[in-house]
Structure 1
Amino acid sequence: MTLRFEDLDTAVAAMLARLPPALHIGAPLGLGKPHRLLNALYARVAADPARPMTLYTALSLDPPPAPPGLARRFMGPFAERQFGADFPRLAYVEALRRDALPAHVSVEEFYLQSGAMLGSAQAQRRYASLNYTHVARALADRGVNCIVQKVAANADATRLSLSSNTDLTFDAVDAIVAAGHPRPLLVAEIDPHLPWLDGTAVVDADWFDLVIAPPAPHPKLFALPRQPVGDAQHAIGLYASALVRDGGTLQIGIGALADALCHALALRHTDNAAYRRVLHALDPTLQAHPAVRASGGLEPFGQGLYGCSEMINEGFRRLVDAGVLRRKVVDKAPLMRRVNDGSASPLDLDLLDRDGQFLHGAFYLGSQDFYDWLHGLDDATRRGIGMKRVSEVNELYGLDEGLERLQRRDGRFFNTCMMATALGAAVSDGLEDGRVVSGVGGQYNFVAMAHALPGGRSALFLRATRESGGKAESNIRWNYGHTTIPRHLRDLYITEYGIADLRGQPDEDCVIAMAGITDARFAPALLDTARRERKLRGDFAMPAEWSAHTRERLAETLAPFRRDGTLPDYPLGSDFTEVEQRLVRALAWLQARTGSRRGKLATVAAALAHGGGPGDDEALARMDLAAPRGIGERIEARLLRLALARTQASG
């Protein structure tokens, strides 16, 4: 019989009464993690060394701590508005940051909030490097005896939707039982803010052993702030959009690069003339690129796309609203075969339209606008979205390989990496000293799937350069001491300078292709190294057009489209006010110019000489610097005025 509770402490007591002394707790990644329940459980266990606990989870979302100085002035008011003053920060995350978990408590994650735990020895030691699809097996191996999850409920709470996280719960329960362990204690916390998604996401309430419905007030859902999309991201998204074939399948990651891709795909469909103008400005020969000819296109989407992605995010919302995401699939292989070969009857097509779905995902995460959109879906759109197990979404051989091959025709799998080598390996999750930035997640799954599917392609995005200590560095390296995707799975790489098609190519051709999308400052040295290491012929001469691969030339090329609104800073909407958007640009400008001691001194000197300008007062007031007090605040105000003036002039 399912037990129901409103009080969290009473619920925790009931959990502990039904569990053995050693707790092995599983919790979903991201939004499905019940913060308040986990905090109550952690508080009880941390004070009782007789109850050792290991928590197995991933992506423990926590509002970012504000760094000192101007960033804190910006982030404080924004974070309170974005997350709510009562947002329940995860107590174990705060302890991990300080390496302060009690000795009898351990947290094992397979994916970390990007960069958040680089300084935590406890988090780094207990990181588990796993493909997303291998996590359920690992949970069974660990002997997980309890799974806690946030859910949505129908009006009388007799039916519960796993909503944001169908990814691992079903797979984990099946794997644990199949391994001969008892079925884990299943605990649900109802959150009325969580959107209801139907179909395979829904279970009867008695599928859970304990159901908790805490009383109001209910904290806001964790909402990811949408980041600005710069010139480099827009260029990458535009190049990538030309590799998508009408009638195909789409998987994307998250972040500004994914936002840029979705904006470009929507532009391709809704304003094809503007789309072609900006592509022609970027590269007049793009339509003739072999990869575009073989795998993509520039035309609007007559058939539409089917989305199959572990994560459903803001970009998919845009593609649904723009009419791009609309190719439906059904779980009937004979029907899908007839649809694909063009022999489907009118009755087949009616069934496809009635029962088909155009988007499958394993979890979702996004902005508050995105959650509001999910809440407000009309019935037809809601039926078109299916939340699935990660074993079904992220691989071909999880449930029905033949069916999934038919559904995922012309699959395009777009993900982001931090660095790539000239021979085609990708660095996405960690540093060469062994520290983990984020995790492998599903990236390897999707890269491997692209190679397994006829017509499938994997494309990895990366910016050509990064700033480190006030100095530019290339993200295309000759070699690096850590690899996420091995070079034998090399396929497509995209930077702001174009597309490198490495699939099936010999090493020399890979080197040339990767050098061709490298920043002009770093391409000659890369080629010199390749010659020295006998991977490039001695007489190869760098083409003259590569010298145009500079940040300045790219900005000049895209400037008209930035001004006329074709390529906006926030193509999928913004969580920042207009004043805050100006401040984001200004703070980024300052950060880029104060990374080194020399740059900081030069910028401070320029700020002291700068007298400010019109239109600064509202931004200064937002940062509580309209009437600076003391020398420190006066310098901050001068720095901010300088940055606002420079970014306003360049914007």
Structure 2
Amino acid sequence: MSAALDQYRQKLRTPQDATALVRDGDTVLVASAVGEPPALLQALAARRAELNDVTLSQLLPLSPQAYMDVDSAPHIRHRSLFLSAAVRAGFKAGWADLVPCHFSEIPRLVRRGEQRCEVVMTMASPMDAHGYFSISLSPDFTMAAIERTRDLVLEVNPNVPYAFGNCHVHISQVSALIESEAPLREVGLPQINEIQRTIGLHVAELVKDGDTLQLGYGSIPDAVVMQLGGKKDLGIHTEMIGDGLISLLESGAVTGRRKNFLPGKIVATFGMGTKRLYQAMDRNPTLEMHPVDFTNDPAIAGQNDNLVAINATLQVDLFGQCGSESLGPNPYSGTGGQTDFIRAANRSNGGRGIIVLPSTAKGDTISRIVPTLTPGTLVSTSKNDVNYVVSEYGVAQLRGKSLRARARELIAIAHPAFRDELRAAARSLSL
């Protein structure tokens, strides 16, 4: 331990000195979501005027930074692997770029050099007695980047949980580190309305005791969680773990006893929630945090029997195509792990892939179930992959069914005000 402590002290820096490792032309890869290191990013933003042609890559930035504007782009340009609210406007304004990708494949992009990472910045737990830190909040592609990077910079914070799994880095791998005691960013559960609650009830009827769950981010997946407290022996193999899944664990609904792949273990690749979640993650023997090419790879996740993948979409057409990441041709978010887990559920013995959406938008003036996707809409889940689609009006099971049968199923769960219009459109499409 004394040798590790000596290295720790030698590598301890101020935020300003730590960010001095960034050079002109570098790509800085930053950990996702709550794993982003705020003190390091603020220090990097403060010296942006002295840098040129630096790219900052990130999957899910939560906090707007001072370099996120058009004037800073020649100095630090944002390269997003998924559009969040912090950079959505920046894509339209031209100072942020969007890279299409499946979440599971980002580590492969890193290893092939298609996603550069001269510098990696991430939050980390305090060092343990063996010289290891836990990158618990976001090991997703961060672990692959750590293998390839020139310089690894940690923001060490006692509020970061020390989790188990493949999410650890040794002090010998670290170029510089800073210390912070700031509270972690908290993302609470959203308010659930009646439509979302009804969708949650429909989905809960598709979930059986002993199933293994993956839930995407959003109000409807959270509404589903609220309906599952009475289930027994559920398992978890997911990309994001949040407060909702911790509630299921604490209620006794999640035990993992019937999981055939990593039985008894909750598996995830990033954590985002409140202090309650972060405390529950700390040295929890039932939880393992792993890189995303393990959690989201359909061939791996699909080894879980009875895998139920629950994800939201913005629009679905009568062929079964799901547009989950754009409003027409305008990117809104990203593919994330939706396709990964829908395909994993299709591979799973007894698996079910579930896409959820309210039947309408803008005060019931627009149907989200449409004859064909709005021109330019980016397809996230293809017609060949879609299984169940659920709205507040019920459940449509599409897999293995003809195009005409699919159209009938989807029209039946559309808002009643749009069903006649959809039937007429289906006839014009020969459906």
TM-score normalised to structure 1 length:
0.61
Would you say the 8 A contact 1:305–1:358 is kept in 2?
no
Q: How has the CA–CA distance of structure 1 residues 115 and 138 changed in structure 2, closer, same or farther, with 3 Å as cutoff?
A: same
Q: Equivalent residues in 2 for 1:250-649 (5 A)?
A: 250-266=213-229, 268-269=230-231, 301=232, 304-328=233-257, 336=260, 357-375=264-282, 382-397=284-299, 401=300, 405-406=302-303, 408-432=304-328, 434-467=329-362, 472-480=365-373, 481=375, 482=377, 483-535=379-431
- 1:4 corresponds in structure 2 to 11
Distance 1:200 1:125 in 2: 31
Would you say the 8 A contact 2:188–2:243 is kept in 1?
no
- 1:32 corresponds in structure 2 to 35
1:11 is displaced (CA, Å) by 1.9
Would you say the 8 A contact 1:107–1:123 is kept in 2?
no
1:246 is displaced (CA, Å) by 2.1
> Segments of 4+ in structure 1 off by > 6 A?
none
Distance 1:264 1:329 in 2: 20
Would you say the 8 A contact 1:329–1:358 is kept in 2?
no
Tell me which of 83, 91, 103 is aligned to 2:66. Answer: 91
Distance 1:187 1:256 in 2: 34
1:157 is displaced (CA, Å) by 9.0
Query: 1:226-261: CA deviations, max 9, x gaps?
Result: 221111111111111111232221100122212211
- 2:198 corresponds in structure 1 to 235
* Greater helix proportion: 1
1:490 is displaced (CA, Å) by 1.9
- 2:152 corresponds in structure 1 to 186
Distance 2:145 2:95 in 1: 24
- 2:78 corresponds in structure 1 to 107
SS in 1 for 2:136: coil
Q: How has the CA–CA distance of structure 1 residues 329 and 163 changed in structure 2, closer, same or farther, with 3 Å as cutoff?
A: farther
Tell me which of 205, 215, 226 is aligned to 2:189. Answer: 226
- 2:4 corresponds in structure 1 to none
Among the aligned pairs, what percent are the same residue? 23
1:198 aligns with 2:93: no
Query: 1:38-74: CA deviations, max 9, x gaps?
Result: 2212321x2125x420011121102xxxxxxxxxxxx
Q: What letter corresponds to residue 218 of structure 2 in structure 1?
A: G
Which structure 1 residue ranges, 5 or more long, are not aligned?
A: 63-88, 177-182, 270-300, 331-335, 338-351, 536-651
Tell me which of 159, 173, 176 is aligned to 1:207. Answer: 173
1:60 aligns with 2:61: yes
Would you say the 8 A contact 1:56–1:109 is kept in 2?
yes
1:123 is displaced (CA, Å) by 5.5
Distance 1:132 1:508 in 2: 32
Would you say the 8 A contact 1:157–1:205 is kept in 2?
no
Q: How has the CA–CA distance of structure 1 residues 440 and 9 changed in structure 2, closer, same or farther, with 3 Å as cutoff?
A: same
Alignment size in residue pairs: 419
1:368 is displaced (CA, Å) by 3.3
Q: How has the CA–CA distance of structure 1 residues 329 and 34 changed in structure 2, closer, same or farther, with 3 Å as cutoff?
A: farther
Distance 2:171 2:258 in 1: 29
Distance 1:118 1:142 in 2: 23
1:156 is displaced (CA, Å) by 6.6
Q: What letter corresponds to residue 424 of structure 1 in structure 2?
A: G
Distance 1:166 1:241 in 2: 30
Distance 2:121 2:226 in 1: 36
Would you say the 8 A contact 1:411–1:450 is kept in 2?
yes
1:186 is displaced (CA, Å) by 1.1
Distance 1:413 1:516 in 2: 22
Distance 1:119 1:200 in 2: 34
Which structure 2 residue ranges, 5 or more long, are not aligned?
A: 1-6
* Greater strand proportion: 2
Would you say the 8 A contact 2:45–2:65 is kept in 1?
no
Q: How has the CA–CA distance of structure 1 residues 60 and 119 changed in structure 2, closer, same or farther, with 3 Å as cutoff?
A: closer
Aligned-residue Cα RMSD (Å) equals: 2.3
Would you say the 8 A contact 1:171–1:391 is kept in 2?
no
1:144 aligns with 2:117: yes
Larger radius of gyration: 1
Distance 1:40 1:329 in 2: 48
1:120 is displaced (CA, Å) by 4.2
Distance 1:23 1:533 in 2: 51
Would you say the 8 A contact 1:25–1:54 is kept in 2?
yes
- 1:340 corresponds in structure 2 to none
1:163 aligns with 2:165: no
Distance 2:366 2:227 in 1: 27
Distance 2:272 2:130 in 1: 24
Distance 1:21 1:114 in 2: 28
SS in 2 for 1:126: strand
TM-score normalised to structure 2 length:
0.90
Distance 1:21 1:389 in 2: 29
Distance 1:317 1:102 in 2: 40
1:37 is displaced (CA, Å) by 0.5
Distance 2:130 2:183 in 1: 20
